[in-house]
Amino acid sequence: RIVYVNGSYLPEEDAKVSVFDRGFLFADGVYEVSTVLEGRLIDNEAHLVRLKRSLNELQMESPASPSEIVEIQNELIKRNGLNEGGLYLQITRGAADRDFAFPKNTTPTLVMFTQEKNLLNSPAAEKGISVISVEDIRWGRRDIKTVGLLAPVLAKQAAVVAGVDDAWLYEDGYVTEGSSNNAYIITKAGTIVTRNLGNEILHGITRRAVLELANEADMEVEERAFTLDEAADAAEAFVTSATTFVTPVISLDGKAIGDGKPGPLAKRLRQLYIEQALES
């Protein structure tokens, strides 16, 4: 695999980042994961807008303009012959002697790599996934997509140990989001409910696209916090993210949601999302 690091395209074994990189020492960096379908980036502009916002919130400069980033992304897709999968992009504040405050005159580190993956043909989406609830112990700015991901790492590991697919994070009894996706329930009355935007969750690019599609399809949508009890009592549930699109959730904490199978609205939204992505 060819990866990109600070201006160079290199075989992955030759790519190097300093041990003093602040991403490594402080998780002082941000990232994005864009989807690639049929060799093309999906909704990439929205990812770059969010990247800019994350950088601004951390008072960090981008080492490349959006158009330069797109050029690198497409070059990397080409060099790796990537047809379907994800493109990971990370910017850190760069390398400097270890000190908490921002260093002066440091060049940010820009890294990108591709991950080949079957996204359209997904057994998890066919079968639906099972989740457990895990307390959300993350920091107060989850709207910034930082590389500080220890809490979701622990949540996902707890899911693996419990023999399920993923974790839904909760705070004060309310679901915030999944370990690496936005979380939704569909009530027995047919209303799609997902956490409202704020500092408590990541503002998902797929979330925005899916809510738009739901509105266009005249589905009822409520953006508000919902409890674990409401989720347990829901007709359907699902999650969204760039590389998993819409994936049905069929059980929570060992209890089936609805009839324990992927629900019709979740399946329809997945189909609508994929159709739109392939047409874009």
Q: Is 200 in the site for ligand PLP (CB under 6 A)?
A: no
Pairing of strands 40-42, 85-92: unpaired
Give the position of tokens 């790519």. 15
10 versus 27: smaller Cβ distance to ligand PLP: 27
The stretch among 22-30, 57-65, 175-183, 258-266 that binds ligand PLP (CB under 6 A) is 175-183
Q: Give residue 121's identity as a one-letter amino acid code.
A: N
Q: Is 181 in the site for ligand PLP (CB under 6 A)?
A: yes
- Considering only residues 136, 165, 177, 200, which one is a binding residue for ligand PLP as defined by CB under 6 A? 177
The stretch among 53-61, 63-71, 202-210, 268-276 that binds ligand PLP (CB under 6 A) is 202-210
Q: Is 90 in the site for ligand PLP (CB under 6 A)?
A: no
267 is catalytic: no
- Considering only residues 110, 242, 252, 277, which one is a binding residue for ligand PLP as defined by CB under 6 A? 242
CA–CA gap between residue 168 and residue 258 (Å, rounded): 17
Q: Is 205 in the site for ligand PLP (CB under 6 A)?
A: yes
Q: Residue 77: which H helix or E strand, with range?
A: helix 66-80
The stretch among 9-17, 86-94, 185-193, 236-244 that binds ligand PLP (CB under 6 A) is 236-244
Query: Which one, of 225, 246, 86, 250, lies nearest residue 164 by Cα?
Result: 250
Nearest-approach distance from CB 159 to ligand PLP, in angstroms: 14
Q: Which of 52, 78, 104, 145 is catalytic?
A: 145
Q: Is 180 in the site for ligand PLP (CB under 6 A)?
A: yes
Q: Which two tokens stand for residue 153?
A: 């790492």
CA–CA gap between residue 45 and residue 43 (Å, rounded): 6
- Contact positions with ligand PLP (CB under 6 A) in 2-61: 33
Residues in CB range of 7: below 8 A, 6 or more apart: none
Report DSSP letters for 217-232, one per residue. TT-EEEES--BHHHHH
Q: How many residues does the chain have?
A: 280
Nearest-approach distance from CB 13 to ligand PLP, in angstroms: 27
For the CA atoms of 53, 57, 58, 59, the dihedral, rounded to the nearest 10 degrees, stands at 90
Q: Is 136 in the site for ligand PLP (CB under 6 A)?
A: no
Q: Give residue 22's identity as a one-letter amino acid code.
A: R
List residues near ligand PLP by CB under 6 A: 33, 177, 180-182, 202, 204-207, 240-242
Q: Catalytic amino acids?
A: 145
